[in-house]
């Protein structure tokens, strides 16, 4: 990217009245290669003075009216960035845990054309791992990063960080569905489309006594996030997904049938183990049904890909706003 670009810095908020104005004031407004910088706050149903203080601090504010989830807040940010014609978007939490000056680290690779999606990483540089991060949260982040790395076949150290930068191409390509969260889904969506992803080390400070707005319950967060990932993997890799389920039934089924066959060859009759035939036949039937379902789902996946291409072209060709917002 050689021409000056328009940057949108977006903050999802839920009851961040104490910190949102301070974070907005700390945002960098003069970055290399960036012609203008605008600030968007998405108020996800706050019950305090978040909206009023964000407006007073000079941000453009979109309010949901009720709490729809950080995933839904991100989708609102995404639609706004695309609709208003921004070239680059950076998102940062409004609680002050991240160093706003490091937005430059997220934007620079995008401006230089080195990456489409740049994500802040709390773990890629071990010297920057926050010492007061709860051990269970760190363990969960590491397991989630391992899972996403396995699914994408690329190595990532931190897939849950909410401090990121996106090129316009990434903004156009992103098509997310999760309302609860968006962080892991973004990796799966963009890597499946061949976009370039880069991790950069960032600083983070965990405030004593503060509870996460998203992961208030670690087990609940894990279940809901796993559900999003599972459904996304099903949609993007239907053959692998359903064939794996089919094999989980078919292989044991064939084992029972083989056992019954061995018993017949050894004794000359089926008596005593006819049950193995029924169990094996039932499991094999279910396994084959999953296999057929996988073939059908793979056909439907082609329709999904074509629909996403059409959606991408519609967004790409839509008129771009030339005006700036606060």
Name the helix (H) or strand (E) containing 121: strand 117-121
Q: Is the pLDDT of residue 216 over 60?
A: no
CA atoms within 13 A on the CB side of 64: 24
Residue 164's CATH number: 3.90.550.10
C-alpha closest to that of 94 among 65, 51, 64: 51
* Band of residue 212 on the pLDDT scale cut at 50, 70, 90: low
Q: Are residues 167 and 23 in the same domain?
A: yes
Q: Please report whether residue 98 resides in a domain.
A: yes
- Residue 202: inside a domain: yes
Kindly report which listed range (56-65, 151-160, 183-192, 199-208) carries the lowest average pLDDT score: 199-208
- The number of residues making up the chain comes to 326
Q: In angstroms, rounded to a whole number, what is the distance separating the alpha carbons of residues 224 and 182?
A: 11
Residue 319 is assigned to a structural domain of this protein: no
Task: Summarize pLDDT for 120-148 with one digit per residue, the tens.
Answer: 999 988 888 877 777 777 888 888 899 89
**What would the two tokens of residue 299 be?**
């056909």
273 is in which domain, residue-wise? 238-312
pLDDT digits (tens, 9 = 90+) for 233-266: 888 889 999 999 999 999 999 999 999 999 999 9
pLDDT at 257: 96
pLDDT, mean of residues 50-62: 96
Residues 205 and 247 in one domain: no
Same domain, 268 and 194: no
Question: Is residue 324 included in any domain, yes or no?
Answer: no
**pLDDT tens-digit profile of 263-316?**
999 998 888 899 999 999 999 999 999 999 999 999 998 898 888 889 889 888
Q: Do 102 and 242 have their domain in common?
A: no
**Comparison of pLDDT for 324 and 73, the residue scoring more:** 73
Write 62-70 long-range contacts (CB < 8 A, 24+): 67/14, 68/44, 68/179, 69/44, 69/178, 69/179, 69/180, 69/181, 70/12, 70/14, 70/44, 70/162, 70/180, 70/181, 70/182, 70/213, 70/214
């Amino acid at each position: 990217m050689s021409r000056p670009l328009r940057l949108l810095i977006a903050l999802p908020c839920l009851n961040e009245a104490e910190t949102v104005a301070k974070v907005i004031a700390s945002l960098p407004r003069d970055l290399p290669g960036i012609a203008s910088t605008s600030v968007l706050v998405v108020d996800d149903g706050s019950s305090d003075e978040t909206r009023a203080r964000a407006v007073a601090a000079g941000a453009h504010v979109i309010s949901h009216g009720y709490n729809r989830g950080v995933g839904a807040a991100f989708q609102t940010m995404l639609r706004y960035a695309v609709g208003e014609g921004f070239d680059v978007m950076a998102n940062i939490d409004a609680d002050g845990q991240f160093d706003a000056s490091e937005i430059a680290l997220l934007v620079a690779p995008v401006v230089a054309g080195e990456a489409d999606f740049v994500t802040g990483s709390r773990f890629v540089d071990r010297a920057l791992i926050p010492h007061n991060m709860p051990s269970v949260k760190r363990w969960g982040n590491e397991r989630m990063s391992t899972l996403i790395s396995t699914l994408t076949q690329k190595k990532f150290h931190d897939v849950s960080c909410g401090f990121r930068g996106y090129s316009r191409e990434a903004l156009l390509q992103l098509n997310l569905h999760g309302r609860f969260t968006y962080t892991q889904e973004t990796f799966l969506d963009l890597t499946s489309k061949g976009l370039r992803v880069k991790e950069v080390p960032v600083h983070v400070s965990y405030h004593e006594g503060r509870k996460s707005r998203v992961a208030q319950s670690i087990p609940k967060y894990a279940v809901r996030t796993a559900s999003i990932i599972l459904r996304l993997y099903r949609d993007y890799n239907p053959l692998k997904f359903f064939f794996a389920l089919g094999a989980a039934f078919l292989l044991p089924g064939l084992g029972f049938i083989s056992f019954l066959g061995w018993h017949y060859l050894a004794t000359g009759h089926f008596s005593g183990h006819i049950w193995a035939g029924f169990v094996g036949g039932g499991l094999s039937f279910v396994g084959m049904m999953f296999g057929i379902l996988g073939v059908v789902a793979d056909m439907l996946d082609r329709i999904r890909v074509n629909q996403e291409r059409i959606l991408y072209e519609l967004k790409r060709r839509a008129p771009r706003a030339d005006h700036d917002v606060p």
